[in-house]
Amino acid sequence: MQADLGVASSLRSAVHAIGLRALGALAIGIAVVDAHAAPVVRQGSGASPAALQALVDTFRADLGGNNNGVGGSFADGRREINWDGVPNASATPNFLTPDFFNTTSPRGVVFHTLLEDGGSAFNDFTVSASTASGVPVRFGNINPAYASTFITFSAERLFTPRAGHAMLVKFYQPGTTTPAVVKGFGAVFADVDSANASVISYYATDGSQLVAASAPVLNGGLSFVGVSFNAGEMIDHVVIRSGTHALSASNNDGVSGVDVVALDDFIYGEPRPASGCLFEDGFDCQVP
């Protein structure tokens, strides 16, 4: 845990600058920044989970292999987070720890919030309630209207940064503090109302931006954006911007230009050590 806190501290000064570049980089639905990148971009929207399923499955096929679940390290495949296995103790009104999916349920990601003009709680995240908890679902505890604003791709939990709408996802060899890279990353967005306001930006290990892609608009529906690479490029981290405003009691969707967006499933390639060695002793050392 202390090592993860150290990583967060070292990223703190860089994260804001990265975020500002990411938020300002996209003027169209797809922006390829690195001329050498060969992105495979999957974008689409649907009024129901079934309407989006084929697109999500296509992105899974782009990543290849199996869903590797929790823990361990593998040479290929992918990881998925649907939030639904998060216990009530780590869901709203409580907070999800930034490293939950690298410690408690190790899948090789640690989250960081991006400081914005309005301010946000550093590294605070929250997952929506389950029906059984008695807390209003789909962030209805934050704003009662949200329970009908959002739908889920995989029932029944959603995810959001607290008091902000931008975050960084950093990859690690699952269950360790060894930095890792992935070949692709995608996410489901709920209730995207504004064009180019919900964006994923992808970065290489040297900090250069590879590409940025936006989630298509569908008011009250589900949108997906996922990018993978087929020419050897690897992703060190991604920055996600979801909508124009943070979820809050005072931010009502569709009023005065407010577009609040929640997040559902994260799907990404198997996190491989950035050094290219699957194991620290050097055995099975491959270029990722």
Q: What is the mean pLDDT of each run of 10 residues along the chain (288 residues)?
A: 36 42 48 70 98 98 97 96 97 96 98 68 88 97 98 98 93 97 98 98 96 98 97 95 96 95 99 69 36
98-107 b/e with 16+ CB inside 10 Å = b? bbbbbeebbb
Q: Where are the domains of the chain?
A: 2-273
